[in-house]
Amino acid sequence: MAMYTMERKEFTPYPQGPSEGIIYDVEDLGLEIDPFAPPPQPGEEPKMRHRLVIKIESMQKMMEGEADRPCILHYRCNMGGHAKSNLRIFRTKVAGRALTEQEAHNFDDQEVIGVRVGYVVAHREGGNGATYANLDTIWRLPPERQGVGTIQNARAVQGQAPQQQQQSAPAQQAAPTQQAPPGPAPTLGDDLPF
């Protein structure tokens, strides 16, 4: 019997602290087993959650050793419209206003894709010894900053050339906005391994 040794791949952590970026994609992961649910009893199905990954490209921080590749933050959350759900909290902060109940329970990824945001990332060590990047808070940049910055991971507006995407912003930009300061805020959610 052969024995194999696997080298642990070292990842460069997403930089801590405040940053500004562009939400460029929302990936629907479908149903996944809830890692926090108690183990199912014999004969029971495991508890499932509908999961999403929201991808934010930094406009300020580049990957270590690669000056032309921006850092990407992946924010995982459950699909949900409950007042305390991480997705609803995230959407409210990105919209810069309270969501109506109808809006809260009807999510369209186009409402967030292309929006320029400010955010704060913190590092935390998991129980397995790995370092995780957590999105501590996020806020919508003011209207005068919505057209600032380029999108390298282009999906903000499908079908447009990258230079056109630079000036694009979602239709909700006209709604009143508030800029939240990067101060203490509730942690938005799941540990994000990198």
pLDDT band at 120 (very low <50, low <70, confident <90, very high): very high
Total residue length of the chain = 194
pLDDT surpassing 70 at residue 146: yes
Higher per-residue confidence, 183 vs 60: 60
* Separation between Cα atoms, residue 129 and residue 126, nearest integer Å: 5
**Which string of DSSP letters, residue by residue, matches 48-73?**
EEEEEEEEEEEEEEEETTEEEEEEEE
pLDDT in tens, 26-84: 999 989 888 778 888 888 888 888 999 999 999 888 887 777 788 899 999 999 888 88
Question: Mapping DSSP to helix (H, G, I), strand (E, B) and coil, where does residue 144 land?
Answer: helix
| Non-local CB neighbours of 179 within 8 Å, separated by 6+ positions | 96, 118, 139, 140, 141, 142
Average pLDDT over residues 108-116: 92
pLDDT surpassing 90 at residue 133: no
**Residue 57 near residue 70 (C-beta atoms within 8 A):** yes
Higher per-residue confidence, 108 vs 14: 108
pLDDT in tens, 13-25: 678 899 999 999 9
Taking Cα atoms as reference points, which of 28, 138, 38 lies closest to residue 79? 28
**pLDDT for the residue numbered 131:** 84
Domain borders along the chain are: 17-34+45-193
Percentage of residues in the chain with pLDDT exceeding 70? 69
pTM exceeding 0.75: no
Higher per-residue confidence, 142 vs 190: 142
pLDDT in tens, 148-176: 666 666 444 444 333 333 333 333 333 33
